[in-house]
Amino acid sequence: MAITATSVPALTISYTLVQTDNVSSVSESTSIGYSTLELSNGTGTGNINIGTVVTGYISSGQKIVYDFRAFPKEVWGTQTTLDFTSTVTDLPPIRQHYTNPGGGIKAILATNQWNGSLDNGIEGWFPITGLPRLNLHATGSYGFTNLFDGESGNIFINPKSTWACVDFMGKVPIYDTSPTAYNYELTLATDNFMDVTGTGGYPIWNSTASANPWSGNLPRIPYEISIIGVTGSNV
């Protein structure tokens, strides 16, 4: 059975402004970005051969490390893993700085899906400084710094917000034991959540009081990470 993969990672922001007075109205519309990029099936530049989506919850103060040698994927109800890494020797000599022109990650999207303390909209009384944020970073000996052009990232994602990167050439994770080159771990983290008091003076986290409308509410964030790219050493 053959499997092919294609993607159109449209990143477009559209808006409409309407100004109305007693006599007439004036409107303005525009679209910023692009929606015509298509990544076709294959293993080279501008190609992908797989996509995956992971969803879950991350608790206050927790860190989750995603290993791009074994990135999780569910295929028709069965759990498997994907290897997006390449070795240094897979890259042409002129590309020894790990900018793989054909493989790796072509697009990644991370979303903070927290939608208020009761999951029905972020409350107006909720303190801005206490909003649960996600953080993406690539630190440590194995950090996937190639995703952030050699930097550590440290990307904060607010509730109901998304961070995305699309790269037609590819951001390549590296795993090579000779020479030693490790660049394949991406960390998803949250700070410790601030103690927040809701209306009525009740704490919204970690309460079990029966009268508390937030009783049993867990301090955690639902999230989603979507990835498309080329698996294995394909360059």
- Asked whether residue 106 is assigned to any structural domain, the reply reads yes
Q: Are 64 and 225 in contact (CB under 8 A)?
A: no
Tens-digit pLDDT profile for residues 191-209: 999 999 998 899 999 898 8
Confidence of residue 49 (pLDDT cuts 50, 70, 90): confident
Residue 204 inside a domain? The answer is yes
Q: Assign 78 a pLDDT band (cuts: 50, 70, 90).
A: confident
- H or E element at residue 103: none
93 pLDDT above the threshold of 50: no
Is the residue at 55 inside a domain? yes
Q: Is residue 24 part of a domain?
A: no
CA distance 98 to 146: 7
Joined together, the tokens standing for residue 109 give: 């999207």
- The answer, yes or no, to whether residue 99 has pLDDT greater than 50, is no
For residues 132 and 11, the model is more confident at 132
In whole angstroms, what is the distance from residue 69 CA to residue 73 CA? Answer: 12
The number of distinct structural domains making up the chain is: 1
Q: Rounded CA gap, 69 and 185, in Å?
A: 9
Q: Over the stretch 162-192, which tens digit does the pLDDT of each residue have?
A: 999 988 888 989 988 877 889 999 999 999 9
- Structural domain of residue 109, as residue ranges? 40-230
At 157 the pLDDT is 97
On whether residue 197 sits in a domain, the answer given is yes
Instruction: Answer with the residue of higher pLDDT: 5 or 15.
Output: 5
Q: Work out the average pLDDT over 121-137.
A: 95
User: Does residue 113 belong to any structural domain of this protein?
Assistant: yes
